[in-house]
């Protein structure tokens, strides 16, 4: 079976890990080009040693190369600001799609096990954030049983796994993730917090999800969460519940105040996750980067057989 040729823009940690995943694990994608702006980056050097086309002149540089015409999917692993420029190039070519791993959110949010079918028919899809990929499936799992009023996520990642791009996008991370909790997760109100944990040795990614929903069948919610965990594990094997799901009742006569919503009561659900990376290019503790590249590759693999309507 002929594979679809792809390019990765951004030769840092995320782009390099994605390249290795595509080489080792993709059923439908063929690595063709690695694009960066730092000629001395490790990602460009590795791609060149592996025999792929490389350029340190950004996506504009790749656009002038003969390989450009055969590339159908571009993964953008740069920054929110740079993505606006990169999409300006890709948008001109009707036969190409871009999968955005930055928080730019020009295209619709896409969380593979939640809303792939509603998002595939566009040429620019946004993978939200690492925290969003890890936690929004849990909000959606609760919401499909009991309407979620409020969803709050806390993503704790090893400081060593946060490169310059991640640090530059902290504000966009919280804003984009909160918006996606609402748009994709189904919450009326969303909030996102990120913690860069400086612990040595580095700890794996941990995520805590709180939802306040209408009262619902607790067993049904627990089952929904476990089923969603299995769906995510299909492309992120290191994704798991760190503890069993916890429930608390917020009684009507003791409601909590939620900014933007006012007083609410109902069922509080707490989900605690752990995401351990596959260790392809980055250490196992970098689960935050692993879930992002894994979700992006899974999306690319599914998009290759999709036609625009």
Helix (H) or strand (E) holding 287: helix 287-303
Hey, is 41 helix, strand or coil? coil
φ and ψ at residue 264, rounded to 5 degrees = -140, 150
Which one of 32, 106, 130, 187 is the catalytic residue?
Answer: 130
Cα–Cα separations (whole angstroms), residue 96 to 124, 243, 263, 297: 9, 42, 47, 16
CA distance 165 to 177: 16
- Let me know if 130 is a catalytic residue: yes
Hey, is 177 helix, strand or coil? helix
- The DSSP 8-state label assigned to residue 65 in this structure reads S
Hey, is 113 helix, strand or coil? helix
φ and ψ at residue 166, rounded to 5 degrees = -60, -45
Q: Which residues are catalytic?
A: 130
């Amino acid at each position: 079976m002929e594979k679809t040729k792809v390019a990765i823009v951004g030769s840092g940690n995320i782009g390099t890990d994605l390249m290795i995943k595509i080489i080792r694990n993709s059923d439908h994608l063929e690595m063709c080009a690695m694009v960066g702006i730092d000629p001395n980056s490790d990602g460009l050097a590795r791609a060149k040693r592996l025999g792929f086309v490389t350029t340190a002149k950004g996506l504009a540089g790749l656009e002038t190369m003969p390989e450009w015409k055969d590339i159908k999917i571009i993964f953008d692993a740069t920054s929110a600001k740079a993505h606006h420029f990169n999409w300006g190039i890709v948008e001109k070519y009707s036969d190409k799609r871009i999968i955005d791993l930055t928080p730019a959110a020009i295209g619709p949010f896409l969380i593979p096990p939640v809303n792939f079918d509603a998002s595939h028919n566009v040429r620019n899809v946004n993978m939200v954030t690492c925290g969003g990929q890890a936690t929004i499936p849990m909000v959606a799992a609760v919401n499909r049983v009991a309407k979620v009023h409020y969803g709050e996520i806390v993503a704790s990642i090893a400081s060593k796994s946060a490169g310059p791009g991640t640090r530059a996008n902290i504000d966009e991370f919280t804003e984009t993730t909160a918006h996606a909790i609402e748009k994709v997760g189904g919450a009326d109100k969303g909030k996102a917090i990120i913690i860069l944990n400086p612990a040595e040795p580095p700890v794996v990614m941990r995520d805590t999800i709180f939802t306040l929903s209408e009262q619902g069948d607790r067993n049904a919610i627990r089952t929904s969460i476990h089923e969603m965990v299995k769906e995510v594990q299909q492309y992120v094997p290191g994704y798991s519940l760190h503890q069993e799901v916890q429930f608390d009742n917020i009684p009507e006569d003791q409601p909590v105040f939620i900014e933007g919503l006012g007083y609410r009561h109902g069922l509080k659900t707490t989900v605690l996750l752990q995401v351990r990376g596959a260790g392809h290019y980055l250490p196992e503790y970098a689960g935050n980067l692993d879930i992002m590249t894994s979700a992006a590759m899974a999306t690319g693999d599914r998009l290759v057989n999709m036609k625009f309507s």
